[in-house]
Amino acid sequence: MQGKGDFTVKDLYEKMGVRPQVYDFGKKIEQGLEERFKKLDETAEYNQLKVLSAMQKNRVDEACFYPSTGYGYNDQGRDVLEQVYADTFHTEAALVRPQIACGTHALAVALFGNLRPGDELLSPVGKPYDTLEEVIGIRPQKGSLAEYGITYRQVDLREDGTFDYPAIEQALTPKTRLVTIQRSKGYQTRPSFSVAQIGELIAFIKKRKPDVICMVDNCYGEFVDVIEPSDAGADLLVGSLIKNPGGGLAPIGGYVAGKKELVEQAAYRMTSPGLGKEVGASLGVKQAFYQGFFLAPMVVKGALKGAIFAAGVYEALGFPVLPDSKEPRQDIIQSITLGSPEKIVAFCQGIQAAAPVDSYVSPEPWDMPGYDSPVIMAAGAFVSGSSIELSADGPIRPPYAVYFQGGLTWEHAKFGILMSLEKLAQAGLVKL
């Protein structure tokens, strides 16, 4: 494409550090992905209309954006936003708050709100996300569910990544009150689950124990499909606003959506028994929450294109990628097994060099608290720690896999991936 003064986009890439041979390599991969990208456009179009229709139905107007302070009584814009989430996810109610600090907090609020001493929590999909281990008490921690006398049972996935139905059936006891199902693999090596698979699992469980609460950790999954786990029988849906549904604009927050009574219980835990959803000032974040949710289907589409492009580029170079560039996607995370510490570092330095913020810094591996090996992280985000923005991280240990996710626009994700390839090529770690 011709640009101003006879400069092409390829020239501009070169000026910004991506050499023509790297650009051409990417171009070839991109051309092979046209059909896939078209499907993503269709999903995004559907989800865009879904969100828009929920906003129109709830008569969102300028007054919804006015900040509230103090107790936040009668914050109508906050209540309308929660109904917009509920209508989009087809649930009875939702809690969408800046007081929810992150995804882990949202999950903790849903769990503590709905479990009582003597109850048992079941994960039929293996080990949950790292941070939940301390919430549950798998790793002992002050204030965990275990300290409150709530027990935990886990059924691991079978070797091929499928559900172990006979073991799940056995693990359902009269004490089982809540079943937690994590949709995304997070940073594990198991597959992520489709909404249809989750629906099957929930149906199996409900058939045997109709009164059990089925909660889905929906982190990284929102808007990847045209349906959500709440469309497949989940009673509770939980996620983070600095991932998919915040659309890159929400500066903080989390959500819990689902059956009215269960969301209410979560709200009593989030604020206080008796106060629940009635308090909690929204300060000045509501416009960002609304606008981010409005943009989220498009942002998720860009992130998915980036993930698929990364898979395409690196599988063409012979690296194991998960998922591969052809498989259906259930979340926005891409893992690439690079096979050596140097390659992880070069990859992450490329992602960092492509960022709109902090592009001049160079990430290095460091001993992060809570990890048993050094970790390198690349992120140059507008919202600190946001992983819907282009980011990558890799623990420096075999098999030396890097996890890549996000990108507020496809164009930026593409640039980041080409920049990572450039760094690897420059260091002589890959041959194009």
- Tokens of residue 106, six digits: 């949202």
135: contact with ligand PLP by CB under 6 A: no
Q: Find the binding residues for ligand PLP in span 274-313 (CB under 6 A).
A: none
176: contact with ligand PLP by CB under 6 A: no
Q: Which stretch binds ligand PLP (CB under 6 A): 51-59, 62-70, 217-225, 407-415?
A: 217-225
Which is closer to ligand PLP, CB of 100 or CB of 419? 100
Write the DSSP symbol of residue 193: P
Q: Which stretch binds ligand PLP (CB under 6 A): 153-161, 178-186, 335-343, 392-400?
A: 178-186
Among 220, 294, 400, 410, binds ligand PLP (CB under 6 A): 220
For every residue of 246-308, DSSP letters joined together read: GTTT-SS-EEEEE-HHHHHHHHHHHS-TTTGGG----BT-HHHHHHHHHHHHHHHHHHHHHHH
Q: How many CB atoms lie within 10 A of CB 40?
A: 20
Among 13, 65, 85, 129, binds ligand PLP (CB under 6 A): 129
Which is closer to ligand PLP, CB of 129 or CB of 309? 129
Rounded CA separation 149/266 (Å)? 18
Chain length of the chain: 432
- State in angstroms the smallest separation of the CB of 363 from ligand PLP: 19
352: contact with ligand PLP by CB under 6 A: no
240: contact with ligand PLP by CB under 6 A: yes
- Tokens of residue 89, six digits: 């996810």
406: contact with ligand PLP by CB under 6 A: no
The distance of Cα 268 from the centroid of its chain, to the nearest Å, equals: 25
182: contact with ligand PLP by CB under 6 A: yes
Which is closer to ligand PLP, CB of 103 or CB of 276? 103
Q: Which stretch binds ligand PLP (CB under 6 A): 51-59, 67-75, 101-109, 321-329?
A: 101-109
DSSP lists the bridge partners of residue 336 as 321, 402
242 φ, ψ to 5°? -95, 20
410: contact with ligand PLP by CB under 6 A: no
Which is closer to ligand PLP, CB of 308 or CB of 383? 383
In contact, 418 and 20? CB cutoff 8 Å: no
Rounded CA separation 147/136 (Å)? 9
Residue carrying the six token digits 């949709």: 183
One-letter amino acid of 251: P
Do β-strands 321-322 and 254-258 pair in parallel, antiparallel, or remain unpaired?
A: unpaired
- State in angstroms the smallest separation of the CB of 416 from ligand PLP: 20
Q: How many CB atoms lie within 10 A of CB 296?
A: 27
- Tokens of residue 120, six digits: 């048992």
Rounded CA separation 251/305 (Å)? 24
103: contact with ligand PLP by CB under 6 A: yes
- Tokens of residue 56, six digits: 């129109």
- State in angstroms the smallest separation of the CB of 52 from ligand PLP: 26
104: contact with ligand PLP by CB under 6 A: yes
184: contact with ligand PLP by CB under 6 A: yes
Do β-strands 334-337 and 120-123 pair in parallel, antiparallel, or remain unpaired?
A: unpaired
| Position of minimal CB gap to ligand PLP | 103
219: contact with ligand PLP by CB under 6 A: yes
391: contact with ligand PLP by CB under 6 A: no
In contact, 165 and 125? CB cutoff 8 Å: no
134 φ, ψ to 5°? -80, -30
Which is closer to ligand PLP, CB of 185 or CB of 305? 185
- State in angstroms the smallest separation of the CB of 408 from ligand PLP: 17
Q: Which stretch binds ligand PLP (CB under 6 A): 78-86, 139-147, 212-220, 266-274?
A: 212-220
Residue carrying the six token digits 């070839």: 28
217: contact with ligand PLP by CB under 6 A: yes
DSSP lists the bridge partners of residue 154 as 123
Number of shown-chain residues binding ligand PLP (CB under 6 A): 12
Among 22, 55, 102, 270, binds ligand PLP (CB under 6 A): 102
One-letter amino acid of 249: L
Residues at the contact surface with ligand PLP, assessed by CB under 6 A = 102-104, 129, 131, 182, 184, 186, 217, 219-220, 240
